[in-house]
């Protein structure tokens, strides 16, 4: 009797290029090894639109990523998730209804607002962004997309991650007093008209539990114990943490940082643990890679070899991710704006 891994490989071979398996960098290594492509959110969004021969796409990641794959792939390609319960709590912190009321309020005060939506958001939120002439972004290209809006003379409403919004604005030289926080739980986001007028960038009050766990105290401790080490964190980390680290970047940029580090370096990383462990294994003997503190995405961890195999054997109808046609059209507009920039 073959083990699970061998069974997955056999089915993978049988399907040839009619099947595409995609895995995000935060997936466990046992899943990543079966992927045709692994990558960060931006890379995977591009890949989903490029494999035209794939009849079925199996997305090992979280729901918003599979939705983007469905929106960007052809109408005759079906996207499956091995575990439908793999969501993203941060994506759930913004609804299209709340976003629409935010835009209505902000436009009553000043009219030049451009929505920029992090890909970590629902298809409905991306559709609302598309309808209002905005673009999605990922942590790899947030700075570029922000610049695109600013160069057109626009102010930015960014959602749903406060930290990526603030860190990207800072990267472009926008100061704290030009950034305001919109709290969807409060009337008008808790912002007075004066505060809206003074803001160049308004960020949504949302966060990623995996990255918000990192603190300045964690960084100080590393500086004390390992003064030679370089520290890099994901920009979903709080600004206070990003500012005391040596670098910040998306998962793909973190990988490049490690690969380009001189032999013998020690690199401490603040992001999801699966990626850090894989990098530590790959670079063993050349550089030392460690976690700032272990932080795990419980939703990414829901996909494993057992449920991947089940999907490949049974192709359950309820595991198909399908975005409604009207929502998909507007969501595609915001994703395609990003991909074209
Ligand atoms: P990136 O892959 O864009 O770095 O995003 C990280 C993340 O949190 C995905 O959920
Ligand atoms: Fe969502 Fe954070 Fe997990 Fe990414 S790491 S899927 S942002 S909860």
Per-position DSSP letters for 73-95, written without gaps between them: S-TT-EEE-S-TT---TTGGG--
Q: Phi and psi for 289 in degrees, rounded to 5?
A: -120, 130
Query: Cβ(121) to ligand 1 under 6 A?
Result: no
Q: Which atom of ligand 1 is nearest to the CA of 251?
A: 4
Q: Which atom of ligand 1 is nearest to the CA of 236?
A: 8
CATH code of 91-209, in short, is 3.40.50.10800
Multiple choice CATH, 4-86+300-330, 3.40.50.10800, 3.40.140.10, 3.40.50.970, 3.30.420.40: 3.40.50.10800
Q: Which residue has the tokens 């991710």?
A: 321
Sheet holding 78-80, edge to edge: 37-39, 19-24, 56-60, 78-80
Query: Cβ(40) to ligand 1 under 6 A?
Result: yes
Q: Is the fold of 4-86+300-330 the same as that of 91-209?
A: yes
Question: Domain coordinates of the chain in residue numbers?
Answer: 4-86+300-330, 91-209, 214-291
* pLDDT per residue as tens, the chain (341 positions): 689 999 999 999 999 999 999 999 999 999 999 999 999 988 898 898 899 999 999 999 999 999 999 999 999 999 999 999 999 999 999 999 999 999 999 999 999 999 999 999 999 999 999 999 999 999 999 999 999 999 999 999 999 999 999 999 999 999 999 999 999 999 999 999 999 999 999 999 999 999 999 999 999 999 999 999 999 999 999 999 999 999 999 999 999 999 999 999 999 999 999 999 999 999 999 999 999 999 999 999 999 999 999 999 999 999 999 999 999 999 999 999 999 99
pTM across the whole model: 0.95
Class of domain 214-291: alpha beta
What is the model's pLDDT at position 222? 98
């Amino acid at each position: 009797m073959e083990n699970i891994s061998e069974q997955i490989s056999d089915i993978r071979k049988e399907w040839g290029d009619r099947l595409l398996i995609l895995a995000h960098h935060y997936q466990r290594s046992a899943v990543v090894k079966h992927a045709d492509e692994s990558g960060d959110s931006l890379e995977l969004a591009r890949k989903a639109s490029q494999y035209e021969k794939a009849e079925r796409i199996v997305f090992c990641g979280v729901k918003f990523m599979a939705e983007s794959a469905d929106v960007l792939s052809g109408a005759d390609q079906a996207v499956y998730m091995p575990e439908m319960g793999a969501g993203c709590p941060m994506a759930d912190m913004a609804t299209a209804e709340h976003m629409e009321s935010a835009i209505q309020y902000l436009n009553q005060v000043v009219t030049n607002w451009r929505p920029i939506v992090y890909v970590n958001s629902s298809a409905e939120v991306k559709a609302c962004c598309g309808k209002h002439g905005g673009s999605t972004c990922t942590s790899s290209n947030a700075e570029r997309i922000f610049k695109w809006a600013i160069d057109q003379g626009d102010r930015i409403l960014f959602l749903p991650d406060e930290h990526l919004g603030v860190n990207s604005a800072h990267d472009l030289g926008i100061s704290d007093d030009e950034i305001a926080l919109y709290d969807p739980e409060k009337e008008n986001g808790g912002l007075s008209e004066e505060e809206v007028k003074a803001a160049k960038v308004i960020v949504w009050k949302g966060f990623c539990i995996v990255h918000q766990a990192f603190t300045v105290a964690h960084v100080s401790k590393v500086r004390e114990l390992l003064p030679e080490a370089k520290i890099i964190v994901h920009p979903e980390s709080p600004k206070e943490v990003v500012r005391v680290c040596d670098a910040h970047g998306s998962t793909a940029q973190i990988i490049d940082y490690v690969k380009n580090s001189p032999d013998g370096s020690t690199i401490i990383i603040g992001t999801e643990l699966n990626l850090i462990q894989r990098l530590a294994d790959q670079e063993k003997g050349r550089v030392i890679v460690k976690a700032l503190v272990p932080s795990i995405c419980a939703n990414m961890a829901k996909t494993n070899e057992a449920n991947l195999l089940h999907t490949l054997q049974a192709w359950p109808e309820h595991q198909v991710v399908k975005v409604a046609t009207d929502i998909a059209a507007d969501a595609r507009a915001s994703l395609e704006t990003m991909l074209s920039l």
